[in-house]
A = this chain, B = another copy of it.
C-alpha cells in the first residue's frame, strides 16, 4: 500500500528529529554548560519548526487521512497506530499556528517565572503566566471540537480513556477507605531510631550503591546509562537506548536510592518493549499511569520491602560502615517506610502520597469547570492541605508553587501518579499468584520478575491501551480496592501491630 509506505517514511523521518531534540534535552538536563542555553534555544527552535512542518505538512495530513479512511482494511496494530496519529493530528492542526508558537514561547517564559516565584516563595510572580497557560489550554480544547468536558479532554492526553467520572470514583474510594487509615497510622507513631535519615552520607558512597542497584534490578547496562541531574527522570529513544538519572543529597540518602529504583522501573519498561515497534508510533510506554505503575511497583512494592533490604542492606552497610553501624535492619526498614504528613509531594511517603494527588486533581477540576480562577489557588491549596494532610504550608514555595508541572503546561497529568500506584497494586495482586516475589527478591532473581512484566505488560509498548492491558493482565477492570488493601496490609503490619 502506497500510503502506508509513505506514512512509514514520514514516521521514521520524524523520529530522527525527535531523537535529536530528545538528546538535546538529555544533554541540557544532565551536563550542558549554563552559558550554552541561549544558543541551544535557537537551535531547538529551528529543529522543532522543521519537525512541526513535517508533522503538519500537507502531504502528512493527506497520508494520515487517507489511511484513516481505509483503516478497516489495515491490520489491527497498524489500525491502532493510524488512529493514534489521526487523533494527535486532528488536535494539532486545529490550533492556529501563531497561537501554537505563542504558547511555546509562553512555556519558555513561564519556566523562568515559576522558578523565580518558587525561589522567592511569591505566587504573584508566576500568577499572570499561569493565567495565560490555563487560558490557552481552555482555548485549545475548545478548538478540538470534541463533545466532552474540557478537563476530560486533558485527562485523556495523559491517560487514554480515563475521565473525571472514573477518577472521581477512584478518589472517592481513597477518601472513604484510605484517609481514615492514614490518620490512624499517623497517630500511632512511636519513637523510631531514624535520625540517620537526615545524617550525612557522602555522594560517592550513594553513587556506588545506586550503581549496585542497576545490577540488582537486572537493568541491561549495554542499552542504558545512569547519570545525575537536579530532578531525576527517565529518557529513552528506543529499547536500545534508555537512560535515567538520580540525585545525590548528602543529607537525604534515601532520596538517591528510591529515585534510582523508581526510575529503573520506568527504564526497564522502556528497555523491554518489543523491537517490532521500533519504527512505529507504538514504541513507548502506553500511558503515564501504566508507566508510573512500573516505577511505583519497583520503588514501593519491591524497593521498600523487607525481603529487599534483608538482601541488600548488608551491601549498603559495607559502604557506610560508620554511618550505619547503629542502625539495625529493622530500623532501616521502618525508616524506609516512615509515614508522615509533609508538604512536598516528591518527598512524600507511599501512604500519604495519594492525598497530595487528590488535592491537585480537585484543584485542576475546579479550574476547568470554571469554579475557581488562578488567583484563588494559593488559598485553596492551603485550605485543602489542612483538610487532606492536617498541615498548612507556611509559604507558597512549600505549597502551590512546589511542582514544575503547571509551568510546563502539564494540566491533567497529576492524577496519573496516584492511578499508577493503584495500577501497580492491581498488577501486584495478579503477579503474586504466579510468582513467589519475596523469594525471587531474596535470591537476587529480579530478572524473573522483569521477565513476567515483559511478557504481560512491557513488550506491548503502546499497542494496547491502558484499559486493555489492565483487563488482560488482571482479568478485571481498574479496581482501586487492591491499592487500599495493599496499603492497609503493609502499614498495619509495620506500624499498627
Interface residues of A (CB under 8 A from B): 12-13, 15-17, 19-21, 23-24, 26-27, 31-36, 38-40, 42-43, 46-47, 50, 220-225, 227, 237-238, 240-241, 243, 278
Contact = CB atoms under 8 A, between A and B. Distances in A.
A12 B36 CA distance: 16
B23 A220 contact: no
Contacts of A278: 39
Contacts of A227: 31
A39 B222 contact: no
A223 to B, nearest CB: 4
Nearest to A278: B39
A35 B220 CA distance: 10
A28 to B, nearest CB: 10
Contacts of A19: 24, 40, 43
Given A20-B20, A31-B227, A46-B12, A40 B241 contact: yes
Contacts of A23: 20, 23-24, 27
Contacts of A16: 42-43, 46-47, 50
A185 to B, nearest CB: 42
Contacts of A50: 13, 16, 50
B20 A241 contact: no
Contact of A222 (B26, B27, B33): B33
A32 B237 CA distance: 12
Nearest to A17: B47
B241 A35 contact: yes
Given A20-B23, A23-B20, A39 B238 contact: yes
A13 B43 CA distance: 8
A88 to B, nearest CB: 21
Contact of A36 (B27, B42, B238): B238
Nearest to A18: B43
Contacts of A39: 237-238, 240-241, 278
A40 to B, nearest CB: 7
Nearest to A14: B46
A23 B222 CA distance: 20
Given A16-B47, A27-B27, A33 B238 contact: no
A244 to B, nearest CB: 12
Contact of A32 (B40, B43, B241): B241
Given A20-B23, A23-B24, A15 B33 contact: no
Counting chain B CB atoms within 10 Å of each CB, the highest count among A13, A20, A27, A31 belongs to A20
B35 A223 contact: yes
A170 B81 CA distance: 64
Contacts of A15: 43
A33 B237 contact: no
A45 B478 CA distance: 44
A243 B27 CA distance: 12
A223 B36 contact: yes
